[in-house]
Structure formats: structure tokens, C-alpha cells
Chain A
Amino acid sequence: MNVERRARPGIPVPVVVLGSLGAVFFVVPFVGLIARAPVRSIPDLFADDGVRAALVLSLVTSVITTGFAILLGVPIAWLLARSALPGRRLVRAVCTVSMVLPPVVAGVALFLALGRRGVIGGPLDDAFGVSLPFTTAAVVIAQLFVAMPFLVLTVDAALRALDPAAEEAARTLGGSEWYVFLRVTVPSIRPALVSGIVLTWARALGEFGATITFAGSLPGATRTMPLATYLALENDTDQAILLSLVLVAVSFAVLFGLRERWVGAAFGARP
């Protein structure tokens, strides 16, 4: 017993110290939030139409965004990782930059592209009368713009690191490119894919700057939880705290509710 304990590699002390400090750094704000929560007001909170609307809007838009992110992001990643299209490096760089961009700047950029006077939005409005800003669709677009790169870059990296051996075997067995991708490639990168999806959803749920700039803030249509929380901070700190807690609780519930088999693989457990 003694020998085994000595044999297991220890963790250097600086790592333990810094790691613990880091963990505390993450945990303390949540503890603070819970400690300050005015528990008495919780039932009132959910009776408030505005709060319910914001919660539903946040959940619905973040899920739709994640769906689009998978639909568009996986093909982008496939092209980046596997094709010989020119400009791949540029596209990869642009994806990274849009993650680094301050979200409000992203919102302004979306205006310039898709707004009433925008490069694409202008003609769209003139021809079809379709105006995107200030709509719920705009919320999804704003979230998609900032969150999709997470999925693209995660899947791109996973595809590039993938050993082509299994895919080659599948091709010799008669699998078309599409069949091999769905039946062999995607299952092989499942941990990266899942973690990419989770990150994307989380980023979309918490999105604020681009949303408030491009989609505006109207209860029910475009005022998501983060926007509602920030507005509540203006004159009702208690409500802001409660809204924050609700968002935190919902996020925890989703992440733990997802079957361990799926998320656990993403965060390191054996599939």
C-alpha cells in the first residue's frame, strides 16, 4: 500500500497552489451571488412576464443558434481541414478574429452588413421589404456570429488531428465520402464535437454586446436574459441578482442534465 502511494506521481506544490487559487477565483463569484440572493422574491420573479419572456427567449434563441452553428460550422470545418480551397488560412484567421472582436464591435459590423443600409441588408430591404435588425432573427444572427467560431475551430482542429486510417478502411469497404463522414469521421471526433457544441451554446446563451447593438432590446422579442439582467442592474439590484442566478441555474441544469455519456466524453471521461 505504502509503495503504491509513493509510486503514484505527485503533483508539484506550485501547481497545487496556483490551481487552488484559480479554482477559488472561479467559485467565489458564484458563492457571492448565492449569498446575496433575496430568496423571498423568487416566486415574484417568475410571476413577472418580462422575466419569463427573457428566459424563454434566451433558451429558444441559443438552441436555434446552436442548431445553425452545427449546420454551417461543421461544413466550414470540413472545408478548412480537408479541402484544398484557396483562402483557407484566411477563413480560419477570420473565424478566430471574430471570437476576439469585442461583441459590440461585432454588432456594429452586423449593422453595416445586414442593417437597413447594409451591404446585403440594404438590397434585401429594398427588394423584399425584409429588415433584419430589431427582430428575434437578429438575436440568432448576433449569437451565431460570435458563437459559431467556437464550433468551427474545435471541429477543424479535431479533423486535422484525426488519423485517416479508419476513414481509409471505410472507403475501401465501399463508403462514399458522405457515408464515411457521417458513419466514421463524426463518431471519431465526438468528444471534440460535443465540447464544441456545448461551448457554442454557452457562448450564445451569454451573448450580450452584439445582441444589444444589432438586435436591440425589446421585451419578448429581443431582450434576452443577459440584456434583462443588465437593465435590471440600473435600478433593481436584487432583481439583477436573481436573474443572474436563474441563468446560472439553468446553465448548470442543462450541463448536468445532458447524459454523462455525451458531455463526460467531452470533459475527459471515457466514452
Chain B
Amino acid sequence: MSGAVELDDFRVELDLEVERGETIALLGPNGAGKSTVLRAIAGLVALAHGRIELDGAPWDSGDVFLPPAERRVGAVFQSYRLFDHLDARENVAFGLRARGMRRRAARASAEAALDRLGIASVADRYPADLSGGQAQRVAVARALVTEPDVVLLDEPMAALDVSARSAVRHELAGWLDGVAACRVLVSHDPVDAHALADRVVVLEGGAVTQRGRLVDLAAAPRTDYVADLVGTNLLRGTLAGGALHVAGGGVVHVGAHDAPDGPVIATIRPAAIALHREHPEGSPRNVWLAEVAGVDRADGRVRVRLTGAVDLVVEVTTEGFASLATDVGDPIWASVKASEIGVVADA
């Protein structure tokens, strides 16, 4: 698709191409317009201008608008939107019956689909009696059983318990693999993109800010959001004579690079920054005094947020952090080698 969707005062413009058998992830902060894009592809909202086509056949263009029922789309909504008055089997069979399949055949296909997703046992249960994970599977089965040309997934993991997510993510990847359709996934969690997508498109405030493979984004994030997404530090400033002057007043000495003087974006991996209780001796040319603003513990690692001349996120091991004996509000020294800092021109 390529075009713009306008919804009240909100406008989203983007260009998107997806191959069959390929999954792209639409990432972005809340309110960026990701769900709006899915709704436009599904046909629930019309483009203000532009076009959506599948294999050359127009779905939405100047003179053609195919209603959702005529687009072979399978959508899994964030809240699943199962039909409360139908049991799981009937929910899954809905799309088949709506398209004219006879009752018995539809039920059989539905049962097979539920079986493939491992929940054949809940076929007779109503949505109110299903667990979150079961409901999600029913929603996925319902979307996939009609063999759609385009599969849309809106924040598929959002409604699940955090602990269940990695297992389900893994399974979802398996179910999607066999489907010969274009797949568009919307998420705010980059881990979903990692596990399920081949390419990523980042949408911020209604426009695309970056696209490509996730690893490429991680190497060279172009916006704060993307940097945050891939978990790296991003600093904007002006490069002059090998030193980057950032907005906060700090100076960052950078190593070899091809960026000309002027506005640049510098990235520093959190793990490349070292923390010290006292001013460190030795080689790093970049040493800053900062205050610990926040501490997030994950398994085996600790991410420390620093504020000061340069705002940074630092990643150290749990043991390393413990040996610093420091806490929120304490002063701390941060150092990083110039060679660890990546620099690209700011467009």
C-alpha cells in the first residue's frame, strides 16, 4: 500500500510493500498510527488518497473501494473480539460460513484448525470461559482458517501475561510460517519484531522514520524512539574537530568515522560504558560525572540510567553493579572509549 489515511485530525502517511510469505512488523509508539494502517488495509477505514493493492488488483484506490468482506484478509485484533454468543468452534467457523461454506464442512474445518493450534478441547466453550491464551489461539485460528491473502496482527501479545509471551511468540512464529500470505504485524515491543518479522517499519507521529532489518536498525538508529527500541544510547549534537557537542553541554570524543562536521547522531551501546565510583585512571578519553537516575534489574544484568552532562543508559552485570555499592541519587563516573562510539550524519 502507499498513501495516506486521515482519521479526524490525525493523518498517517506511508509506503509499504509486503511479499507473500513475508512478515513485516510495524513498530512505533502509541498513537503513531499503526492500528490505523491495519484498519486501512482491512478496509475498515478508507484512504484519503493513495492506493492499496494486492498482486496488482486494487483494494483501495481513487475509484475502487473493496469493502472488508471482499478482501481476503485475516485479522487478529488486540482484544481478540471473539463473538460472545458463539462457542469457540462457531467462532472459528464464522468466516467460512460467512463466505458460503455449509455448516458441517465449516465445523469440520474449524475443529481441524483448533486442533492445529492445540486447543481442540475447548471447541464447545464460550469466550467468557476461555483463558487469555486460549482466546488468543481461537482468534488466530479464526483468522487463518479462511486462508486469507493478507494476515494482520494487532499487538498479538499485548493481552497475554508477560510470562506466557515468549512461549506464545515462538508458537505464533510456527503457525505463521506455513501461511502463504502477506503478514503485517503491529507491535510496540521490539521483541515481537525479533521473533516474528523479517523486516521492520517504524512509524512515529504518522510518518515512517526508519525501515529495514532489525539488525540494521540496531546498528544505526535514526530517532530516539528507534534507539530506545533497540536498546542503545542515541546522542544528537554537532560534530566539530573530532568532538561531539551535545545539547546537554557535554563533550563526546569520537573515534574514526565518515561523517562530516555538522549535525550528527552518535550511538553508544549500553554495555560499552563502564561505571566507576571514583574518577577512573587510564585510557578512555570520555569520562563524565553523572547522577544515578534509575536502576532496572533484569536477569543477570542491570540497566542504569544516568543524568548529567550526557544522559546515558548503561548496562552492567549484577555482580558489577553490586560491587559499586551505589544507588539512585548517588553521583557516579561513566567512561567509554572513543572507538566504541558510532557516528552518522543527521539527515
Contacts and interface: CB of A to CB of B under 8 A. Distances in A.
Interface string B83-115: 111000000001100110000000000000000
A167 to B, nearest CB: 9
A260 interface: no
A174 interface: yes
A173 B81 contact: no
Which range contains the number of A residues in contact with the other chain?
10 to 19
Nearest to B41: A172
Nearest to A175: B98
Given A184-B83, A187-B85, A173 B77 contact: no
Nearest to A164: B44
Contact of A169 (B67, B81, B85, B146): B81
Given A169-B81, A171-B69, A187-B85, A176 B75 contact: no
B69 A166 contact: no
A179 interface: yes
A116 B72 CA distance: 56
Interface in A14-32: none
A170 B98 contact: yes
Given A169-B75, A171-B68, A188 B85 contact: yes
Which secondary structure dominates chain A's binding surface?
Answer: helix
Contacts of A126: none
Contacts of A183: 94, 98
Contact of B75 (A166, A172, A187, A190): A172
Contacts of B94: 170, 173, 175, 183
Contacts of A49: none
A171 B79 contact: no
Nearest to B145: A173
Contacts of B75: 169, 172
B156 interface: no
A187 B86 CA distance: 10
Contact of A179 (B72, B74, B98): B98
A239 B99 CA distance: 60
A133 to B, nearest CB: 44
B83 A166 contact: yes
Contacts of B73: 172
A175 B69 contact: yes
B146 A173 contact: yes
Contacts of B43: 171-172
Among A165, A175, A188: residue with most chain B CB under 10 A: A175
A194 to B, nearest CB: 13
Given A165-B77, A165-B79, A168-B44, A173 B98 contact: yes
Contacts of B42: 168, 172
Interface string A40-68: 00000000000000000000000000000
11 contacts: A168-B42, A171-B44, A171-B69, A173-B95, A173-B143, A174-B69, A174-B72, A174-B146, A179-B98, A188-B84, A188-B85
The 9 A-B pairs with the shortest beta carbon distances in the complex, nearest first, are A173-B95, A169-B81, A175-B98, A187-B85, A171-B68, A174-B98, A172-B75, A174-B99, A172-B68
Given A173-B146, A174-B146, 20 more contacts: A166-B81, A168-B42, A169-B75, A171-B67, A171-B69, A172-B42, A172-B44, A172-B69, A172-B74, A172-B75, A173-B94, A173-B98, A174-B69, A174-B72, A174-B95, A174-B98, A174-B99, A176-B98, A183-B94, A187-B83
